[in-house]
Amino acid sequence: MHATVLALGRCAAKCTLFCSLIGLAACAVIQPVQPWEKGVLARPEMTMQGDALESKFSEHIYASREAASGGNGVGGGGCGCN
């Protein structure tokens, strides 16, 4: 039984090494973004925040719903004092 466990351990180590090498080889073929592709990636729809006006509106609704301000760089609590 001890030999079986050692064999499985060696097999797992070889499999891990093989998968790591395949992963490194896959990272080596990544090409940089071409200049003509940068225009597509720079569109406003591709940003993480989305529309600036929409995010401000959502923050306003959230602050109104929570009846408190704060956490977005604005001081004060739910009492209305700044």
pLDDT tens-digit map of 9-62: 787 888 888 988 888 888 888 888 788 888 877 777 777 776 778 888 888 888
Q: How many domains does the chain have?
A: 1
Q: Is the pLDDT of residue 75 over 80?
A: no
Asked if 82 and 76 touch (Cβ cutoff 8 Å), the reply is yes
Kindly state whether residue 42 falls inside one of the protein's structural domains. no
Question: CB-based burial of residue 63 (10 Å sphere; 0-12 exposed, 13-18 middle, 19+ buried)?
Answer: middle
Kindly state whether residue 37 falls inside one of the protein's structural domains. no
Kindly state whether residue 58 falls inside one of the protein's structural domains. no
Provide the domain limits for residue 1: 1-27
When comparing pLDDT for 64 and 53, which is higher?
53
Q: What pLDDT was estimated at residue 26?
A: 82
